[in-house]
């Protein structure tokens, strides 16, 4: 999803083939976030200045888009995860946590702020009933959906910025980094495993290319 031309392609793992689908109907190529709920992909925000509050639903089976109610605040560079029929939207231009009810097309504020605005553009992943959010620098947070609590985690052992997180069982893998070397920024090749049960990190083999 996305890119400079707002493309939508489906990649078939078995046939190793790409299929061109209906283009995204707005500028989604920078700062946008997507999340799957059922047979739909929800597209949140996009290119800053003209679509930073947009919310569209893409129906995978029908290959069609539906514009939903705009987000109640600027969600450019937010993070989002899905839990059952709800989408949790974290960050953006403000430090809010909102829950979007996909059944009733309704936004509900669940938390006022993170207390730390460095998490704009962070990456979130759902593990069990908690959202783990890793932001710019060495900050990590856990948001518990069930009791609406928000705590800071053990600091990330490297300068993690705007890369990828993957949750598998009780572990989260932090892949890549944009780190500062002297006066210049360089791409890293880190691979760390964060254990959600022990709140500890373990360094794994580096990614074999600039990630």
Tell me the per-residue pLDDT of 37-66, one tens digit each, with 9 for 90 and over: 999 999 988 776 677 888 999 999 999 999
Question: In whole angstroms, what is the distance from residue 118 CA to residue 121 CA?
Answer: 8
Cα-Cα-Cα-Cα dihedral sign, residues 7, 12, 100, 74: negative
Q: Order of strands, edge to edge, in the sheet holding 78-83?
A: 78-83, 86-91, 97-101, 106-111
- Per-residue pLDDT tens digits for 150-180: 888 998 887 776 678 899 999 999 988 766 5
Tell whether the model's pLDDT for residue 15 goes beyond 90.
yes
pLDDT for residue 180: 57
**Spatial separation of the C-alpha atoms in residues 101 and 121, rounded to whole Å:** 22
Which two three-digit tokens encode residue 115? 């207390």
pLDDT at position 6, please?
85
- Please tell me the distance from the alpha carbon of residue 142 to that of residue 96, in angstroms, as a whole number: 14
**pLDDT value of position 164:** 84
- pLDDT band for position 10 (cuts 50, 70, 90): very high
pLDDT of residue 13: 95
Q: Is 143 exposed, middle or buried (0-12, 13-18, 19+ CB in 10 A)?
A: buried
pLDDT bin (cut points 50, 70, 90) of residue 199 is: very high
């Amino acid at each position: 999803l996305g890119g400079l031309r707002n493309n939508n392609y489906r990649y078939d793992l078995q046939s190793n083939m790409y299929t061109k689908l209906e283009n995204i109907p707005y500028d989604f190529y920078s700062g946008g976030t997507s999340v799957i709920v059922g047979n739909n992909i929800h597209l949140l925000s996009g290119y800053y200045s003209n679509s930073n509050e947009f919310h569209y639903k893409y129906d995978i089976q029908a290959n069609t888009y539906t514009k939903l109610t705009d987000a109640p605040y600027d969600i450019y560079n937010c993070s989002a995860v899905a839990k059952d029929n709800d989408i949790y939207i974290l960050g953006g231009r403000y430090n809010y946590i909102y829950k979007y009810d996909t059944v009733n097309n309704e936004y509900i504020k669940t938390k006022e702020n993170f207390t730390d605005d460095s998490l704009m553009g962070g990456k979130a992943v759902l593990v069990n009933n908690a959202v783990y959010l890793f932001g710019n620098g060495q900050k990590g947070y856990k948001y518990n959906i069930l009791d609406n609590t928000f705590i800071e985690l053990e600091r990330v052992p490297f300068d993690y910025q705007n890369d990828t997180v993957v949750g598998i069982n009780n572990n989260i893998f932090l892949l890549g980094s944009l780190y500062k070397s002297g006066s210049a920024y360089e791409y890293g090749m880190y691979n760390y495993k964060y254990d959600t049960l022990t709140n500890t990190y373990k360094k794994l083999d580096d990614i074999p290319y600039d990630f």
